[in-house]
Amino acid sequence: MGDGLQPRIPSDEQDSDEPEDHPMGADRTDSRTDRHPVPSRSSPFLGRIWTKLDWTVGTKLIVLTVPLIALLSLVAAYTEHMRNAALMQERLAHRAKSLAHQIMADRQYYASVVVPRVKDLGGTLGPDYREVHGRFPLPATFVREASEITASFHNGFTANLISPWPINKDKGLKDRFQQDAFAYLALHQTEQFIRTDTLEGRTVMRVLTADLASAQSCVTCHNGHPQSPRHDFKLNDVMGGLEIVMPMDQYVKEGEQDLALTLAGGAGMCVLVLAIVAFGSRRTVTQPLARLSGAMDDFVGSTPAPSTQPDGQGGDEVAHITGAFERMKSVIATQQAELRDANQFLEQRVVERTEELRRTMEEKERIGSELRIASDIQKSILPRTFPAFPHRDDFDLYAESIPAREMGGDFYDFFLLDQDRVGLVIADVSGKGVPAAIFMAVSRTMLKATAMQGGSPGDCLRQVNNLLCPDNEASMFVTVFYAILDTRTGVLEYGNAGHNLPYLLSGRGGIVVLENPGGMALGVMEDSAYPVKRVQLRAGDGLLFYTDGVTEAMDAAGNLFSVERLERLLRRIQNGSPTELVRDTVAEVRSYAAGEPQADDITMLALRYLQGPTESNRA
């Protein structure tokens, strides 16, 4: 191990044989004496040892580290051993409790089911059932013989029924454990008494559970038996106890083996640390210090020597390093001056950049405030008061739009064209942000103004398309689904401009997608045709309009919510009110996204057709 393992104890001959021309040879003994003063004469032996020892860094590290690791290993081994012992006792106690419950359950079943059946069939009970034909074992005999079979296996448990009032005198209390257990169970009938003990040279866990009179047959048998010391038992009285003995010697042996392995590992760790410290200190401390001393000697040889030598320093490596640092003072002072100038310049730049950042943040806050105001204005364009038509009882509707940014491109609308017709609109503008919001406002205004003229959905879409196409330099477009519901007849007339087709939710169960009449998005090609389709609604039927922000919502893995998942959801909630349909769908989409940023606007409109209008509604 070299210098990293053992202390260096130079002898007198080694001191005398040191070369005379060594530059530090004459001072080494004196400096060592100065560093280690001789203790008082009351301990001359320790004084000689102290003056002889000259430990290296590696040796000091070993002296400090190895005992600490050994102590930690012992503490860890003891702690682990005690924890394993506690866990072992806990597991054995749990197993014993489970066995006690199982045995008592078997005994109770035997006493409450088998014993009455035996008596009904004319049989008798007794411990001599093997010699008497037609006689069956007593419940206690059943438990004892089952325990004997279990005990015949290697490390098997034993179970025994004992009592302070035994019919069979061999089943009385025999030792201190049983006496203490019954004294405890007299006050805690529903609990168990557990103790670790030694029986026949083996370490065991003994568990005693109260044996309660759980069946009337047991009470009758014990009270009527001529050899019973007690004849006044009642139901749920403590008649005795079930003792379970669990062998622990195998587990104790395993715990001792684990402790030995832990101690061996700690010893191995000490040896490993000893080797690492010895090797590492030589490579990382002793040799680098020697190289540094040589480098400083080269530096001293190429640099003018200082006028004075630092006090208290000889000609060793520390003196060389100290002298070199003295000669570097002027360089450091120059660098400090340069650093101060640079720091002043940086501080000035920080002030300037801070002011620029403040102006930028103010501008950002102004823009953000304007965007929030614009968002509020945009939301106010859409009808948001529900119920929208509280005086109507022939239909109910609800809508909601959740933009992905401050301002969105989706919109919905609904309006009464006359007393018997209601217009329903859902649309999705291409793009996002402010341009989409402006195009959305223009499209909605045009669409509603055209629809109020009373034309069919196809004529309305065609007129709005021809208004949007000529001046659409940004090449933006909007998908629209526009429908007119005749609340008197239940006929839904609709046209589609490239939008997602709504779902028809039948009041008799089942969902279907409305048939697509065909049609291109508005703002793409002038004079496009928009055919019209019709579908008959019955009382209780519902409609769900939606934009692609619903089906294209993504989870953390990038998977889409999908049309299939939406249809499965609608099958579950199709009988809900329009408000429930929209809000349950929004909640399902947000749960699926699980906190992922919303990628697109989410807009839905739901309607439930209830019945034809009453005379009061028409008035």
Express each pLDDT in 153-162 by its tens digit: 655 678 888 8
Greatest mean pLDDT among 26-35, 407-416, 481-490: 481-490
Identity (one letter) of the amino acid at 451?
Answer: A
376 with 407, same domain: the answer is no
- Identify whether 10 is part of a domain: yes
**Rounded mean pLDDT, 75-99:** 78
**pLDDT of 13 over the 80 cut:** no
**pLDDT of 8 over the 50 cut:** no
- What pLDDT sits at residue 337? 87
552 with 446, same domain: the answer is yes
**Rounded mean pLDDT, 151-176:** 77
- Identify whether 77 is part of a domain: no
What is the C-alpha to C-alpha distance for residues 9 and 470, in angstroms, rounded to an integer?
103
- Identify whether 501 is part of a domain: yes
Mean pLDDT of the chain: 79
- What pLDDT sits at residue 409? 83
340 with 425, same domain: the answer is no
The helix or strand, by DSSP H or E, that contains position 479, with its residue range, turns out to be strand 478-486
**pLDDT of 18 over the 90 cut:** no
What is the C-alpha to C-alpha distance for residues 317 and 296, in angstroms, rounded to an integer?
8
Q: Over the stretch 181-230, which tens digit does the pLDDT of each residue have?
A: 888 988 888 888 998 888 777 888 888 888 887 767 677 777 877 877 88
463 with 592, same domain: the answer is yes
**Rounded mean pLDDT, 553-569:** 94
**Closest alpha carbon to 410 in 371, 390, 380, 439:** 439
The count of C-alpha atoms lying within 13 angstroms of the C-alpha of 387, restricted to the half-sphere facing its C-beta, is 13
**pLDDT of 43 over the 60 cut:** no
What is the C-alpha to C-alpha distance for residues 269 and 73, in angstroms, rounded to an integer?
9
**pLDDT of 599 over the 80 cut:** yes
What global pTM score does this model have? 0.44
563 vs 278, more confident: 563
Q: What's the pLDDT band for 19 if we cut at 50, 70, 90?
A: very low
Q: Over the stretch 410-445, which tens digit does the pLDDT of each residue have?
A: 999 999 999 999 999 999 998 877 888 888 889 999
> What is the span of the domain harbouring residue 579?
382-618
Q: Which of 223, 253, 283 is the last residue of a domain?
A: 253
**Rounded mean pLDDT, 171-177:** 84
Q: What's the pLDDT band for 86 if we cut at 50, 70, 90?
A: confident
Return the exposure string of 325-358: e unless at least 16 CB atoms fall within 10 Å of the residue's CB, then b. eeeeeeeeeeeeeeeeeeeeeeeeeeeeeeeeee
* CA 403 from centre of chain: 31
Q: Which of 359, 381, 403 is the last residue of a domain?
A: 381
**Closest alpha carbon to 313 in 303, 321, 301:** 321
**pLDDT of 450 over the 90 cut:** yes
Q: Percentage of the chain with pLDDT > 70?
A: 76
346 with 431, same domain: the answer is no
369 with 411, same domain: the answer is no
- What pLDDT sits at residue 309? 46
373 with 451, same domain: the answer is no
- What pLDDT sits at residue 6? 42
Q: Which of 210, 237, 253 is the last residue of a domain?
A: 253
361 with 422, same domain: the answer is no
408 with 528, same domain: the answer is yes
401 with 455, same domain: the answer is yes
- What pLDDT sits at residue 490? 95
Least confident of 125-134, 358-367, 567-576: 358-367
Do 165 and 240 touch, CB atoms closer than 8 A? yes
Q: What's the pLDDT band for 545 if we cut at 50, 70, 90?
A: very high
321 vs 618, more confident: 321
- Identify whether 97 is part of a domain: no
- Identify whether 359 is part of a domain: yes
CATH of the domain at 471: 3.60.40.10
- Alpha-carbon separation of residue 273 from 54, 69, 131, 361 (angstroms): 22, 9, 74, 57
524 with 404, same domain: the answer is yes
Q: Over the stretch 503-521, which tens digit does the pLDDT of each residue have?
A: 999 988 889 999 999 999 9
- What pLDDT sits at residue 444? 92
148 with 207, same domain: the answer is yes
Domain count across the chain: 4
Give the phi and the psi of residue 537 in degrees, each rounded to 5. -95, 145
Q: What's the pLDDT band for 36 if we cut at 50, 70, 90?
A: very low
- Identify whether 375 is part of a domain: yes
- What pLDDT sits at residue 618? 41
5 vs 496, more confident: 496
